[in-house]
Structure 1
Amino acid sequence: MRTTHRPLTTVALALSLFMAALEMTVVSTAMPTVVSELGGLESYAWVFTAYMLSSTITVPIYGKLADLYGRKPVLLFGIGLFLVGSILSGLSTSMNMLIAFRTLQGLGAGAMQPVALTIVGDIYTLEQRAKVQGVFSAVWGIAGLVGPLTGGLIVKYLSWHWIFFINVPVGLGAMGLLVAFFHEQVQRKPQKLDFAGAALLSAGVVALLFGVQGIGRNLLALPVGAVLLTAFVLVERKVADPVIPMSIFKIPAIAISSAAGALFSAAMFGATTYVPLYVQGVLGGSPTLAGGMITPMIVGWPVASLFAGRLLLKTGYRPLIVGGFGLTVIGTALMALLLKPQSSLLIPELAMALFGIGLGFSSTALLIAVQTSVGWELRGVATASNMFFRTIGGALGVGLMGGVLVSQLLHDPRVPVAAANELLGPEHGRGLPPDLLRTLSGALGHGLTINFWIICAASVAAFAAGLFFPKIKRGEGMTISTSDVAAPH
């Protein structure tokens, strides 16, 4: 049995996470330009929502497969599917094509982050894992710095299609390193994947997403989603080998981490989706400037995460969780209260910086708390379950805000929604009649302001959930046996 080369395996995992981080900033930077070229502002949220939806419903399935068949084949499959989706997204010639291929891209992304983080939990002890956070913090920081600039330059000098093609060399490099240097020994057990549970979960999440759009008959999907998810819980409690073992939620740290993760992700994905749109569509900023509004969050998060990893053993989980969420409340409140049509760009930059720093402290502590609450045989599904709640929170949050935005644009039947696409073009709607331009800009700004208040409310709710996190004494439940850590490699 060959031994895992931990440094090069870590590089491979870092490259996988780099793609995820870069995807967030580059796509957010380019999307207003994409809408101006392809049209379909009313479908703006679906480019993000489709990606998050497909990755959401597959996260717990990939986590279960990683526990059954090993982390390596699952992660390689996920990266490969992500690259296929990226190439096809770059070749899209309509908004519907882009949404469809972003869905395929998300099906691969569902494996990348949870399985990569599970491998980190496998090959490093808790003390080492806290230090390794510095590596991944640097990855997110670099992606946050280069993403908006890269996206802006690509849109300006090449074409928005290339924002998806840049994933290919990074993904191939990660796959090559994993094949060559990551080795694990998996004891396969005679277990079966819970297909009924997976189907109910997928259908329930899709129904909820349509329901939260809140437009017309879509509301009927809410009770359907509730029924399907209730059936999912009942099935999972009876089957021998569930996709998500309900028993893990009896552990307070996991239950509260799941709830808080869903709430702060709704706020995070909402901010990264709609702050750039506000800057470009309402404030008239360039694509590079709009995408740059995300940079303070993407940089502040890993910097705070680096310190959180080092402080965790000294302070315990709760101070980092409560304090971090407190900062997110301040940041999102500034955004909701002060971001106006004539606002200085310093306001969203400061708000996003506070938001990112707060999430860096709280999310790091929550994830490590989840991973140290279970043994190796459940770490994959526990990590994936936590990622599932984070991604479902993000998907539902962005979907809800997309419904709010569309309802505001459709509020005045005399105003064609298609004309709003020109607000995001290089001329910022200067070719439109002045009255129509003012009406569209006002409707867009009002809808986005409502979304900023939704983001703030989600941050407040996450803070409230953090207050219920158990007071674990320093060192208690924060160590893992050597045999447990060494199990897979």
Structure 2
Amino acid sequence: MTVTAPIPPRTRLLSPAYAATTIGMFALCASVAFEATAVTTVMPTVADRLDGVGLYALSFAAPLASGVVGMVASGAWSDRRGPVAPLTVALALFAFGLVVCGTAPSMEVLVAGRVLQGLGGGALTVGLYVVVGLVFPATLQPAVFASFAAAWVLPSLFGPALAAYVAHALGWRWVFLGAVVLVVAAAALVAPALRHLAPPTGGAPAPRGRMAWAVVAAAAVLALGSVPLAVVVVLLALSRLVPAGTLTGRRGLPAVIGTRGLMSAAFFCSEAYIVFVLQERWGLSPGTAGLALTAVGVTWATASQVQSRLGERVSDVAAMRWGSALLLLGTAGFALAVWSHPVWPLVMASYVVSGAGMGFGYPRTSVAMLAASDDADRGFNSSALSIADSLGAALALAVAGVVFAAAERADADPFVAVTVLATVVAALGLLVAARTERPGGYRTTS
């Protein structure tokens, strides 16, 4: 009689060994994502209550800029000591930033809290990626990253409405303070897995020059409102953190990274003002205006799935070009709608088109970057892509704040001014996307 060995059960994300960690990491990502969509919904109310419209754009730019410092610091720290300490500090900074924002007596203090949130959020993202590599087997890692993506999409479905309800029933401060509870609960689920992680046996020294340039870039973004020439410092620092030729759109990998930065800059510049303009110009409630964020979350996810299913039938270069073109169409439509003052659904529709462009082209910048990288530069290029993403959006938002204030002083329409700025940036993105084709093509990546 032949005895057949039992087939081991298939390992899953929610298997007993990984369930708590999976749920905790998903909850952490969802908490950060919920906070982002919630803040976008209530920030016009916050700026009005704290008499801080002049710092409105900086409240969005600040966490993106400081997040770059958190990313660089957490990456180096994790390589040297493992992810436990960086994750612990990241969670503490993020939670403390939420408390500072929730208790802020002025817009200046709130922006300071947003800086702390950014430091923690940037470090948290890197720390979670390191944990994935250490805790989960290679066969489960794609599913983990897919869950991270879902964790960012789901809050867009209910986050704006919930934030509007909390702000109405309890006050806007509880949008920040309530998120602290979610972060603490999620951290408690992840903690058991972290206790079993052994520190690495060695690691490269912390890149002090890279860290210094990240700090300089973040500080320059924060100073841009009062020192417009700080934009030069931001660009100088950015040039030290990305491959040579990125700022000039050199063909190939530099253009890919430049496309990522410009797409983020154009889209998030529009996103920061979509709820604001719908409330200010059309008199919508925060909950109704927040529907734009819900719609764009669904559209972004749908377009991302479409490009994924098309696979190699649409090349990375074509996807980046089409995505950039849709983004330009959406931002131009947004600017035109704000200028011509039609019915508000047309404003939302234009913004949704921009989201479709991001969903279709944005993921392929990561694929193209990996295809142009090898073992010697994959880490640097991956970091450069994230830095261009965050700093591009932060710089655009900081400049938008300056443009908004200048338009108000000149008795011009400030919303038209910032949406035109977003359109110009999107146009630059399309021009750079046209240069993403690499001599010899891109390697096929698995």
Aligned 1:41-440 pairs, distance under 5 A = 41-117=53-129, 123=136, 134-181=146-193, 187-189=200-202, 191-207=204-220, 210-211=223-224, 213=225, 218-224=227-233, 233=240, 254-312=253-311, 315-340=314-339, 342-371=341-370, 381-411=380-410
- Alignment map for 1:465-476 (pairs within 5 Å): 465-470=432-437, 476=443
Residue matched to 2:39: 27
- Cα distance between partner residues in 2 of 1:253 and 1:68: 32
The CA distance in 1 between the partners of 2:373 and 2:325, in whole Å, is 28
What percentage of aligned pairs have identical amino acids? 24
Deviations along 1:368-423, one digit per CA (max 9) or x if unpaired, are 443565578976654333221111011110111110111122225xxxxxxxxxxx
Post-superposition shift, 1:469? 2.4
Deviates more, 1:44-53 or 1:102-111: 44-53
How many residues in Structure 1 have an aligned counterpart in Structure 2? 428
User: Kindly tell me: are residues 371 and 229 of structure 1, through their superposed partners in 2, closer, same or farther at Cα, counting changes over 3 Å?
Assistant: closer
CA distance in 1, matches of 2:24, 2:367: 21
Q: Give 1:64's aligned amino acid.
A: A
Take 2:126 and 2:252, find their aligned partners in 1: how far apart are those partners? 18
Cα distance, 1:202–1:326 mapped onto 2, change above 3 Å: same
Q: Residues 134 and 310 from structure 1, CA distance in 2 versus in 1: closer, same or farther, beyond 3 angstroms?
A: farther
Q: 1:332, 1:351 within 8 Å by CA — same for their partners in 2?
A: yes
CA distance in 2, matches of 1:32, 1:117: 33
Seen in structure 2, the aligned counterparts of structure 1 residues 315 and 34 have a Cα distance that, compared at 3 Å, is: same
Q: CA deviation at 1:452?
A: 0.9
- Where does residue 6 of structure 2 map in the other structure? none
CA contact (8 A) 1:25 1:148 kept: yes
The structure, 1 or 2, with the larger RCO (C-alpha pairs under 8 Å, 6+ apart) is 1
Q: Is the 8 A contact 1:114 1:384 kept in 2?
A: no
Q: In 1, Cα distance between the equivalents of 2:238 and 2:436? A: 25
Alpha-carbon distance in 2 for matches of 1:295, 1:372: 32
**Cα displacement (A) at 1:473:** 9.6
List per-residue Cα deviations over 1:217-255 (Å, max 9, x = no partner). x2343455566667xx3xxxxxxxxxx585998x97653
The alpha-carbon distance between structure 1 residues 298 and 101, as it changes in their structure 2 partners (threshold 3 A), is: same
Instruction: State whether residues 76 and 205 of structure 2, in contact with CA within 8 Å, keep that contact through their aligned partners in structure 1.
Output: no
Q: Aligned letter for 1:81?
A: L
Deviation per residue, 1:28-82 (Å, 9 max, x gap): 1111111222112112222222222211333233233333433454334322321
Q: Distance in 2 between matches of 1:309 and 1:116?
A: 24
The answer as to whether partners of 1:130 and 1:310 remain within 8 angstroms in 2 is no
Report the CA distance shift for 1:382/1:133 in structure 2 as closer, same or farther (over 3 A). same
2:323 partner SS: helix
- Equivalent position of 2:27 in the other structure: 15
CA contact (8 A) 1:134 1:306 kept: no
**Would the aligned equivalents of 2:321 and 2:433 in 1 still touch at CA under 8 Å?**
yes
Moved more, 176-185 or 385-394: 176-185
State the one-letter code of the partner of 1:447. Answer: P
Structure 2: where are the runs of 5+ without partners? Answer: 1-11
Q: Is the 8 A contact 2:267 2:327 kept in 1?
A: no
- SS of the residue aligned with 2:228? helix
Query: Residue 277 of structure 1: CA displacement?
Result: 1.2
User: Which shows bigger deviation, 345-354 or 113-122?
Assistant: 113-122
Moved more, 294-303 or 178-187: 178-187
- Code of the residue aligned with 1:41 in structure 2: it is V
| Contact persistence 1:318–1:466 (CA under 8 A) | yes
Q: Structure 1-normalised TM-score?
A: 0.77
Between the aligned partners of 1:331 and 1:303, the Cα distance in structure 2 is: 16
Q: Is the 8 A contact 1:257 1:366 kept in 2?
A: yes
From 413, 423, 426, the equivalent of 1:456 is 423
RMSD over equivalenced CA pairs, Å: 3.4
**CA–CA separation in structure 2 for the residues paired with 1:316 and 1:228:** 32
The Cα of 1:305 is off from its aligned counterpart by 2.3
User: In structure 1, what is the Cα distance between the partners aligned to 2:128 and 2:355?
Assistant: 22
1:201 alignment partner AA: A
Amino acid at match of 2:223: F
Distance 1:174 1:380 in 2: 28
1: CA distance between counterparts of 2:150 and 2:285? 27
Query: Does residue 7 of structure 2 align to residue 40 of structure 1?
Result: no
Q: Is the contact made by 1:16 and 1:113 (CA closer than 8 Å) also made in structure 2?
A: no
Structure 1 regions of 5+ residues with no counterpart? 234-243, 413-442, 480-489
| Structure 2 CA distance for partners of 1:200 and 1:139, relative to 1, 3 Å | closer
SS in 2 for 1:273: helix
